[in-house]
Structure 1
Amino acid sequence: MSIALEVILICLVAQAAVTDLALRKIPNVLVLSGLLLALLLHLLGGLHWAPLTHWMAGALAGFFLFLPLYLLRGMAAGDVKLMAMVGGFVGPLMALKVAMLAALIGGVMGLLMLIFNGRWREGWRNVAAICKPMLLRSLGVPLQAVPLAPGASVGGIPYGLAIALATMAVVALAHR
């Protein structure tokens, strides 16, 4: 990946992180402009259609890595789109690395937020409510999944920050 792509990507994810922290939202215009910019830069720097396939594979990998979390209501749509943009810049293999590291960073952020907000007991109750039916079903007890009550969430995580930190780390470690 060229230095120009890396610098632009770092600027874009940093802006997404700041916006996510301030407004708890990642603007579509930031993500879409980043996707188009990644495509343009890949096309200018490569031969024939190879950059297009690299861009497309990365964007799809980034999108589909976080889509299940969005469908389970564990993540906002902006985070999924941001990960697709990151994948468009870095390609599918690095998108996987960024997603795995972002999941670790997001998990640590979530635990720290629960502890500092004093809501860790409620968080553990939610985890037990989600896991109990799965455990009982795995033991052969026929049960239907019961969704959490509305308002049972113990808070959202600014996942744009986790994606930004993971992206910066993966890009920096690629230069070792």
Structure 2
Amino acid sequence: MLNALEVILICLVTQAALTDLALRKIPNVLILSGLLLALILHLLAGPPWAPLLQWLAGAVAGFFLFLPLYLLRGMAAGDVKLMAMVGSFAGPGPALRIAALAYVIGGVLALALLLCGGRWRQGLRNLALLCKPLLLRLLGVPLLPVPLPPADSVGGMPYGVAVALGTVGFIAWTHH
């Protein structure tokens, strides 16, 4: 049976996914409301410091698990904040599992969008453009600092959907 944290989290990530699909944006008010709800529910669950630390550790873990992709411009800030909110509900260990599942689901969704949108060639060119300096460096070729030419974007993906599916999948798996 689902507990209150899980039910509220499922509702919040579903709303985030629907909003991300419709508007390509996850509202800050949804994230802040979720963080506050998670904090309140954690504080009601036990002694003051243990739930507070669980809430904080989960939020920080969720945030830093998605931050690298944001810094590489692979996802938007709202997706990073959404994962922080998910971590605040779930805690650090489950946040890691949910993020891993969301990465896999996001990768599958991105490939499907590339293939269905007919932009797979440009996607492969962008990937080669990003990987070429790394591969040359791994082969021992000295590289001079040269700015990369801008890649043509092959489109954005509503990553809130991947986070929502990863969250719901993780919760379903823990109750199976």
Structure 2 equivalent of residue 28 of structure 1: 28
Structure 1 equivalent of residue 17 of structure 2: 17
Say whether residues 1:48 and 2:48 are aligned partners.
yes
Offset at residue 146 of structure 1 (A): 3.7
Q: How does 1:1-176 map to 2 (within 5 A)?
A: 3-143=3-143, 144=145, 146-149=147-150, 152-176=152-176
TM-score using structure 1 length:
0.96
Unaligned runs of 5+ in 2: none
Secondary structure, aligned partner of 1:126: helix
Aligned residues: 175
- C-alpha offsets along residues 127-148 of structure 1, whole Å, 9 cap, x if unaligned? 1111111101111111236434
Identity across the alignment (%):
69
Within 1, Cα distance between the matches of 2:160 and 2:147?
A: 29
Misfit runs of 4+, over 2 Å: 144-148
Within 2, Cα distance between the matches of 1:124 and 1:2?
A: 42
Offset at residue 111 of structure 1 (A): 0.3
Offset at residue 125 of structure 1 (A): 0.4
Distance 1:145 1:171, change over 3 A: farther
What amino acid sits opposite 2:51 in the alignment?
Answer: P
Within 2, Cα distance between the matches of 1:99 and 1:157?
A: 16
Within 2, Cα distance between the matches of 1:148 and 1:99?
A: 30
Q: CA RMSD in A?
A: 1.3
Distance 1:89 1:140, change over 3 A: same
Within 2, Cα distance between the matches of 1:163 and 1:148?
A: 31
Within 1, Cα distance between the matches of 2:37 and 2:149?
A: 40
Distance 1:153 1:53, change over 3 A: same
Within 1, Cα distance between the matches of 2:30 and 2:69?
A: 21
Single out whichever of 104-113 and 138-147 deviates more from structure 2. 138-147
- C-alpha offsets along residues 89-137 of structure 1, whole Å, 9 cap, x if unaligned? 0000000000000000000000000000000000000011111111011
Within 1, Cα distance between the matches of 2:146 and 2:73?
A: 15
Offset at residue 52 of structure 1 (A): 0.2
